[in-house]
Amino acid sequence: MNRKFSLVIIFLVVVIRLSAQGTTPEGIRNYFWHNEDNHNELTKAPEKWINESAVILHKNLIYGYEKSGQKVTYKKSIRKRIILLDKNAVNEFSEFSFKKSFYSDKGSSSHKSAKVYFGAKVIKPNGKEIEIDIDKEAVARDDNYKLAISNLEVGDIIDYYYYSIEPFVSPYEYIFDPIERTLAEEYPIVSLKININIEKGFFMNFKSINGAPALEEIHTTKSKTRSYVLKADDIVKNNTKVWYFELLEMPAIKMQVYFARRGSFKNRTTAFLPEDENVIKSSVSKEEILALYDKRLKATGYIVGVTNFIKDKTFKSYEDLVIAIYYYMRHYYLNRYSEAIDAYNSKITNQPGEYYKTIVYLNNEKEFINIFTNLLKRLEIPFEVVVATKRYNGKIEDLLIEENAAILIKINTAKPLYVTAFKSHTPISYVNPYLEGTATYLLNSKEKSNTLSIIKEGTLPVSKFTDNIQTAMINLKIKPNLDGFNVEIIALAKGHLKITEQENRLILSDYINKEHEKYGTKSFAAHIYGKKKLRDRIANEMNALALKKKKEQKEYFEKAIKSELGLSTLNNYSYKIEKNGRFSLNSYFVYSEKFDFDDKFIQKAGSNYIVEIGKFIGQQIEINEKERKRDVNIYMESPRMYNHKITLEIPEGYTIVGLDKLQKKINNDSGAFISKAKIERNSLIIQVTKQYKHNFYTLDKWEEILTFWAKLINFKMKKYC
């Protein structure tokens, strides 16, 4: 009997045994550790991996999908058998954290309790097995249990399983979260098996990518159950690397399961479903994408408020008209309700909606696309609906999971504009950096039709590194006793780097009143008519809430600076928004900070003082020695540029030595690190720029990137007198 066939027979025996013994602790234990399991024979690491920290001798993932009436049960388990080859591995596997139960977030409110089974045993080099008494040894800590495994040694094998049973109610349909994972992980794997068991009523999309083995169907005696297995051997480890999209290069799987009762399945507007539940879907055609979004996206929706907004206004171009509408809608249909949401979340009021005459709240991509395209049709402005997928998901022609599709609108004005479902600060023509440069499908419709019937291919633009800039102008003054610094910073950001900064640094009170003034709307409290006492109370509490958030924000920023600079204390911190930059992608977001600190970055050396000036360019990405040896391409979020201008006031009676060491220049096609320094009046002025010129590099460019990265790290560590 060949090995492949014997594995299949063993799997069938396991399935039958679990069904017969039920979900008792003993039944689960025997399911994973039954005597016939030939993986028990794996007790040594292959010679080629003997220098690894640990080797996974066997890994088994099992996904199960069952139904009974309106009840759906999702079962998931992992078993690992790992040999520990050094002290680091011993330390890592000496403690486990797990839950014994949890509340499911799936389906409706019934059957929410999910049960977890966990087991672990240690196999000594002499073959002795020590099973851990989980109930006795695990210690409850809040909702988790902590299990410490004592007396682990190099050469031991740890064999453990984690099995969850999650029941919930779904009377119509349910889409399970997608599973996208590489076969490899932190340690090499001798034997891997992934099992999937699906009953009738479940539909599955599944694809093996980048050379992963195909999924095989297993014959089962249960007429209502389909079983599949994926098997792989000798999987090299996945060294986590910087700037890497692992699903693009490593053997991996993409999988999603859908539960759909026959009545609801007829709609087919929620996902790329296979036609038949017995067929595994592994690809999606352009025509299927068109069919799905033709059903889902219709140019309909509420536009009266926008019509009133533009009624008496004139615009130089369609571009100006669309820009004005976009920012008005962002305020009127999203941001102006933010105060009410804050009031509700802070328990200032439990019925915030009752004070508005009508509420049209656009925080849903589908609704936004429908309303905005409806408006464009009425204004006779040509557009296309863009379907794309983020770069780390792969190519658009390999799209399999609907959740991985991104939808935006391309407006075909003289200068094309891109519109995406807005968040509080999203500017017009913002395209997510992970979508830049990706191939797309463009869906359109005839002028007077509400049906998407035209599809063609396109490409989203890629920003330049000069479009995405972050600049810090840092003024340093050494304290009189030469034991610390007074620091003033003005920070600017635009493009993709601005979006991140705005989300981190802007709170509602920083901009909402200016928006109310700009668009002639009222604050949340001002909507409360005829109840002055209530209105005043809510207004006062909203002001108090804003002050509380400001205080919390200040404490957060202080903590962040201390962490970045390695400070134990920080004095006299202040923070101010100078420009919010919220009405253009290319406008700058500007803020300022002031603080001082003692006993850091200045060291006395005889009659000289050494200043660690490089510390003020902030934390930089670390690339360890292993990651410098790279064998995969380089994927970055976006092209970008970081600038620092450091002005150090020279204390009276002192001069600067070593100015020539601050002059550095590495500039190639991949990027640049350039530093310049000069003495001007009584100040040392250092200008530093770091540039990543592209969002993707082939492997042969890695040495170029390392060259300017190394110069940057060297600069950061420099000390000057």
Dump pLDDT digits (tens) for 638-688: 999 999 999 999 998 888 887 887 888 889 999 999 989 999 989 999 999
Longest Cα–Cα distance of the chain, Å, equals 91
For residues 37 and 18, give the distance between their C-alpha atoms in angstroms, rounded to a whole number. 14
pLDDT score recorded for residue 217: 94
The 10 Å Cβ neighbour count of residue 178 is 17
**CA distance to 24, 209, 452, 544, per residue, from 144 (Å):** 21, 36, 50, 36
How buried is residue 692: exposed, middle or buried, by Cβ count under 10 Å (0-12/13-18/19+)?
buried
**In which residue are the tokens 């981190």 written?**
504
Amino acid at 180: E
pLDDT band at 303; cut points 50, 70, 90:
confident
Q: Is residue 327's pLDDT more than 60?
A: yes
Amino acid at 518: K
For residues 213 and 193, give the distance between their C-alpha atoms in angstroms, rounded to a whole number. 11
The enclosing H or E element of 10 equals helix 3-21
pLDDT band at 464; cut points 50, 70, 90:
very high
Contacts of 345 (CB under 8 A, 6+ apart): none
Residue/partner pairs of 25-31 with CB below 8 Å, 24 or more apart = 25/117, 28/117, 28/119, 28/161, 28/163, 29/119, 31/163
CB hemisphere CA count around 212 (13 angstroms): 26
Angle at 211 between CA 207 and CA 213, to 5 degrees: 65
pLDDT score recorded for residue 13: 34
The 10 Å Cβ neighbour count of residue 275 is 9
**Of residues 112 and 571, which shows the higher confidence score?**
571
3-class secondary structure per residue, 257-273: EEEECHHHHCCCCCCCC
For residues 545 and 512, give the distance between their C-alpha atoms in angstroms, rounded to a whole number. 14
Determine the CATH number of domain 53-282. 2.60.40.3140
Q: Is residue 377's pLDDT more than 60?
A: yes
Average model confidence (pLDDT) for the chain? Answer: 88
DSSP, collapsed to helix, strand or coil, labels residue 53 as coil
Angle at 580 between CA 579 and CA 585, to 5 degrees: 110
Per-residue pLDDT of 236-292, as tens digits, reads 998 777 899 999 999 999 999 998 876 555 455 567 888 888 899 999 998 888 888
**In which residue are the tokens 């790992």 written?**
82
Helix residue ranges, H only, 511-603 = 512-519, 532-565
**Of residues 222 and 518, which shows the higher confidence score?**
518
pLDDT score recorded for residue 716: 58
Does domain 304-462 fall under CATH 3.10.620? My reply is yes
In contact, 479 and 598? CB cutoff 8 Å: yes
Per-residue pLDDT of 87-131, as tens digits, reads 999 999 999 998 888 878 887 655 568 889 999 999 999 999 999
Amino acid at 532: K
For residues 229 and 4, give the distance between their C-alpha atoms in angstroms, rounded to a whole number. 12
Domain boundaries, the chain: 53-282, 304-462, 466-506+550-716
